[in-house]
Amino acid sequence: MSTDTDKRFEFETERSRLSWETHYKPVLKYLSLAVLMVWMLLPVYYTFANSLKTPEMIFTTPLGIPFVTFDPVAWSGRNAWRTMWSAFPFVEYTLATFIVSVGTAGLATVSAVFAAYSFARLDYPFKNSLFVLSVAGFMFPIVLLAIPIFVLMQQLGLLNTYIGMILAFTAFTLPYNIWLLRGFFEELPDNLEESARVDGCTQIGAFFRVILPLSRPALASVFLLAFLLAWHNYLMAFIIGQDPLHTTLAPALLELKGTFFVRNFHFIMAGTFLSMIVPITMYMYLQKYLVEGLSSGGGVKG
């Protein structure tokens, strides 16, 4: 016959056992996140560390593993950061890239919103066929369309212009934005617009007053995606912006390898690291809008 002491001992023993949900799973989750964070930050660290070296130190480091050094030679007048800032028009290229990226993200987002809304919430003939046609750009790689786009921009007189690059970047970003926003609009309940119509809103009024505020997380996502794709786009920027004064950072940094910075890869590392700052800042700025949109629209369904 068990006593109160035995029952208390069994209870304490049961509590002291390690369980998967309370002990192992949290540890593995945070360990996996830590490994993923290190893997994602490794290129940033590699670029930053090599920008602080001399060319000899980069080539002689075993396996190319970087380390931060404060060697007097590396931090003399031949410092990569100082030379990049004085001898290379980094500010002008960054400003041009920012203008093209923001213009592409804005145009692609606005165009995709109206197109995706019509495909998701309106009824008209050949809607599904038009949707398939609009997202058919996924099937064509950018290399295949480079020459036709170059000829088209040449005939329109948009070579070496920001407008030409914005239109070209938008053409490759728009299909994915339409596909993503259409799926989001289809998940919104139909009674939201019906309630707005009962309160006196028109179709357009319900779209701007109800649908768009609830779509902030999706809009922020497609805007950020279009911005990043335009910021890192090399091929179209190289084809359309042939003039060195009307191009973006991606082709400009690659030209460092073949101009007066031959074999000086620390300049390329410094420019590459500086080019990462704007996308990272943009993501950190839009992240709070993503969280705000998710928290405001999280209780809509049901």
What does the pLDDT look like over 182-210, one tens digit per residue?
888 888 887 877 777 777 777 788 888 88
pTM of the predicted protein model: 0.78
Percent of the chain with pLDDT over 70: 78
Mean pLDDT over residues 132-158, rounded?
83
Q: Whose CA is closest to 240, among 172, 178, 192?
A: 172
- Residue 77 has a pLDDT of 43
Query: Does an H or E element contain 264, and which?
Result: none
Cα dihedral across residues 161, 225, 116, 295: positive or negative: negative
Contact 240, 150 (CB under 8 A): yes
Query: Does an H or E element contain 202, and which?
Result: none
Give CA–CA dist 146/239, Å, rounded: 8
Residue type (1 letter), 67: F
Judged on CB neighbours under 10 Å (0-12, 13-18, 19+), 290 is middle
What's the pLDDT tens digit per position in 80-120? 777 777 777 888 888 888 999 999 999 999 999 999 988 88
pLDDT at residue 216 above 70? yes
Question: What is the per-residue DSSP string for 120-153?
Answer: HH---TTHHHHHHHHTGGGGS-TTTTHHHHHHHH
Judged on CB neighbours under 10 Å (0-12, 13-18, 19+), 142 is middle
- Residue 225 has a pLDDT of 85
Higher pLDDT, 7 or 230: 230
Neighbours of 128 (CB within 10 A): 8
Question: Average pLDDT over the chain, rounded to whole?
Answer: 77
Which residues touch 178 (CB under 8 Å, ≥6 apart)? Answer: 112, 115, 116, 119, 131, 134, 135
Neighbours of 204 (CB within 10 A): 8
Higher pLDDT, 123 or 78: 123
- Residue 104 has a pLDDT of 93
Mean pLDDT over residues 134-157, rounded?
83
How many Å from the N-terminal Cα to the C-terminal Cα in the chain? 53
Contact 172, 137 (CB under 8 A): yes
